[in-house]
Amino acid sequence: MRKPKSTGKAETQPVSASIEVYESKNFRLQTDLSAAAANELLERLEKMIELVSRYYGQPNSQTIEMSVVDSRENWPVGSIPPEALPSIESGAGITLNATAFLQNALGEKQITRVKSVVWAVAERGVPQHEAVHAFCHQNFGRTGPTWYSEGMAELGKYWRDQNKGVQIDDEVMRYLQRTEPQSLDDITHSKHKTGDSWQNYAWRWVLCHLLSTNPNYAPRFKPLGLALLGGQPTQFDDVYGSMSKEISFEYLLFLKQIDQGYRCDLCAWDWKTKPMRLKGTSTTQVKVIANRGWQAAKVQLKQGDRVSFVATGDWSLQPNGPKIGPEGDEQQQGRLVGILFDDYELFEPFDLGKNGEYEAVRDGVLFVRCQDDWCQLADNSGTVTVKFQAVKPQPAKSK
């Protein structure tokens, strides 16, 4: 971003020749990374902090000081402050915060300035993670409760420009796919502290990612964050208590389907559309969008109910890909499929296709979608219209 400056000028710590200082609009970076890598990191940090400032509606008020360690051997003894050393040696990072006070006329202490200094290893998005803490601390004076503070820092770490899909470390992905989910209560109420374990960070990330990207919860998430950063006496349950069953359902669904590229915004559950029981000759019609997850079919079923359906239209599973009808292709991709939802429980998906009859194996509300890999919905296009009608019960045979 800028040419490296000689380090002797600003820092009091003696540094070896391979450690240089780089500056950009919001950062001052001291590092032993190559100039190319340092500039690339600054560019990413700038983009991320711009997004974070826009999200919070708060421009960054002062330069964020970052020291990023690529190779420990390049840093002479004493160049890394003792408070930061354990984090650096364990391959992590830490944001050291200094608060300056001023006495007012009444002799009361008032915060005048909060300054954060970040120490981080160069790998795995650690500098980005710590930069979010530094931003929150410098601009709000606090970073919020652990689940929020660390969850948001993990969002920053994984943030990619123009990419709304899940993109996390493979090790974290495998852990989330194979482990019994931590409960929402455990994540938001536990006494767990910053720096506890990467596993706990993973659950915090899941919750913050879901709440910030799913349109059912995102509108309340930003005001909650601002309240927490503003030190207001509020918490997760105050804001989301009335939606706890819905959040819990979508949290578990997210974890069931999670993989790289998964889009919470496209798979948000439809809690609003009211289903109805089809009777007599009444029909209902629904438009199914190819790039979405399960969508309400507006049909309520009792066990044994039979409905006939006809699906028209076509969709495509990749940009400029072949058009596929609701019967699907040879691999059954693009086929219209259904699922029953009842009292926050989902049952086994089943096949529908272009037309036919479906008999409900249990009570439930019908949801439908275009069969495709859960993590590759975004590039789908097209819609299919499905018309449902009740099938008349067979008249009892008379002798």
Shorter beta-carbon distance to Zn ion: residue 93 or 382: 93
HSE (CB half, 13 Å, CA atoms) of 363? 5
In angstroms, the CA 372 to CA 331 distance is 10
Closest CA to 347 of 356, 357, 355, 337: 337
Taking CB atoms, the residue at the shortest distance from Zn ion is 153
Which of the 8 DSSP states describes residue 160? Answer: B
Starting at the edge strand found earlier in the chain, the sheet holding 306-316 runs 283-289, 381-390, 306-316, 355-359
Shorter beta-carbon distance to Zn ion: residue 150 or 250: 150
3-state percent helix, strand, coil for the chain, nearest multiple of 5: 30, 25, 40
Stretch that binds Zn ion, among 153-161, 221-229, 326-334, 376-384 (CB under 5 A): 153-161
Give me the least distance between CB of 126 and Zn ion, in Å please. Answer: 9
Shorter beta-carbon distance to Zn ion: residue 20 or 150: 150
Contact of 298 with 274, CB cutoff 8 Å:
yes
Of residues 21 through 80, those in contact with Zn ion by CB under 5 A are none
DSSP 3-state of 240: helix
Shorter beta-carbon distance to Zn ion: residue 19 or 155: 155
Give me the least distance between CB of 368 and Zn ion, in Å please. Answer: 41
Of residues 112 through 151, those in contact with Zn ion by CB under 5 A are 150
In angstroms, the CA 207 to CA 251 distance is 7
Q: How many residues bind Zn ion (CB under 5 A)?
A: 2
Give me the least distance between CB of 175 and Zn ion, in Å please. Answer: 18
Q: Which helix (H) or strand (E) holds 155?
A: helix 146-158
Give me the least distance between CB of 225 and Zn ion, in Å please. Answer: 15
Give me the least distance between CB of 150 and Zn ion, in Å please. Answer: 5
Of residues 337 through 376, those in contact with Zn ion by CB under 5 A are none
Give me the least distance between CB of 33 and Zn ion, in Å please. Answer: 21
Shorter beta-carbon distance to Zn ion: residue 205 or 236: 205
DSSP 3-state of 300: strand
Please give the span between the terminal C-alpha atoms of the chain, in angstroms, as a whole number.
90
Which of the 8 DSSP states describes residue 235? Answer: -
At 37, which amino acid appears?
Answer: A
Interface residue with Zn ion among 38, 92, 122, 153 (CB under 5 A) is 153
Shorter beta-carbon distance to Zn ion: residue 32 or 150: 150
Contact of 341 with 367, CB cutoff 8 Å:
yes
Shorter beta-carbon distance to Zn ion: residue 20 or 130: 130
Give me the least distance between CB of 111 and Zn ion, in Å please. Answer: 22
**Interacting residues toward Zn ion by CB under 5 A:** 150, 153
